[in-house]
Amino acid sequence: MNELATQSQRYSPAPDRSRDYSAEVGRPGATSADAQETWQDLARASWTPENLVLATATGARGFDRNHDRVQDGGVLNFAAGEAPRIRELKLNNSTGNHKVDAAVLVPQGYDPSLPTRLLIYNHGYRTSAHAALNYSQLTEQMKSADPQTVLVVPEWQSRPGSNSPARGRSDEQGFYRNMLNEIMSKTPELRGKSVDNIASIGIISHSAGFSPTRAQLYNNGLGDKVTSVTVLDSMYNARAYDKWITDNLRDLASGRKQFQVIYTDHLSGQTNSLETRVQQQLRRAGLNTNSVYSENSRGSSVVSADTLASHGIVFKRSNYTERGEGAHGAMTRVYLRQLLEAERRRN
């Protein structure tokens, strides 16, 4: 096996010869001929990656199994097919008597000695912390996660799977802080960690997940721990995020923090009014409005990971559908992956 193939192994788990993995090898500006040569070396070792990246930090080139170039200027998922470890927990800090009070997805390769990022996913109506793993394909999408990003899916509904807004005592001060601390104490990989010593928190809200997201932002003393907020068709109050945006405006303008809104037509009015106010805030503060990406017309496309990585603030109209799923639900099946891949690019 040549040097390129040898280098690729350190970016993937020990190869299971029955599965496909992606590989990264250190050659900038690679060609299809380079890809074919490296693929032959990997095949002689009985290892057939799904994707191959011949790259350094710049000049990346991605190839599929036919050695055709499929991506430039970025990275691909270097451990495709490696599912996260799933923990489904019963908690004392819960919104009701549920079989599952929280699901935790820990990437393969997670190292507790390194900084940890928690990503909280607040599901919408007619699903649950357990059901969302498959319905929204969270388990599949987490295959793109950086090893240090752990996904937490709290059960915020008193009656999971219903259309009820009832959420127990979770609006009380400190509820979610206590819940997160208990989740970490009961997740073997996270024991010894707490809200105080993790590196950062991201929050994703889908649909009715708007209510727990607002509580997590404002009622739990998380402060600067929250570095990203992603609103998936969940802008039911156009002023709900004003305080967080104002408090973090300079970090958002610089890209150190992120605020993203993906919305369908029924929430366009609330979203557009927020976008107008954000643009005005940036101008009044003398900050660069180029930090805002706005796409209100081409709704059938999915905003790229590169765009998410290079803009602190994103507003994206979405009519994207998938396998008969309408735009409202379909976005949950693609945007966790896009956010995780954008995080890789920023890091």
Residues 245-297 pLDDT 10s: 999 999 999 999 999 999 999 999 999 999 999 999 999 999 999 999 999 98
Same domain, 98 and 35: no
Same domain, 53 and 100: no
User: Which of 285, 328, 216, 198 is closest to 313 using CA atoms?
Assistant: 285
Q: Which of 72, 105, 121 is the last residue of a domain?
A: 72
Does residue 77 lie in a domain region? no
- Global pTM reads 0.78
Copy the structure tokens of residue 198.
């993790």
Same domain, 31 and 110: no
Does residue 262 lie in a domain region? yes
Q: Is 186 or 62 the better-scoring residue by pLDDT?
A: 186
What is the C-alpha end-to-end distance of the chain, expressed in Å? 30
| Residue 249 DSSP class | H
Same domain, 121 and 39: no
Domain of residue 155, CATH code: 3.40.50.1820
Distance of CA 133 to the CA centre of its chain: 14
Same domain, 21 and 60: yes
Alpha carbon distance 19, 38 (integer Å): 18
Same domain, 166 and 48: no
Give the chain's domain count. 2
Does residue 67 lie in a domain region? yes
pLDDT 10s digits, 15-41: 443 333 344 444 444 555 555 566 565
Does residue 79 lie in a domain region? no
Alpha carbon distance 261, 233 (integer Å): 7
Same domain, 60 and 207: no
Same domain, 49 and 112: no
Same domain, 105 and 134: yes
Range(s) of the domain holding residue 12: 3-72
Does residue 194 lie in a domain region? yes
User: Which of 150, 146, 136, 177 is closest to 87 using CA atoms?
Assistant: 150
pLDDT 10s digits, 170-216: 999 999 999 999 999 999 999 999 999 999 999 999 999 999 999 99
Q: What is the mean pLDDT of the chain?
A: 84
Q: Which of 25, 47, 72 is the last residue of a domain?
A: 72
Same domain, 265 and 322: yes
Same domain, 245 and 330: yes
Same domain, 65 and 126: no
Q: Which of 21, 49, 72 is the last residue of a domain?
A: 72
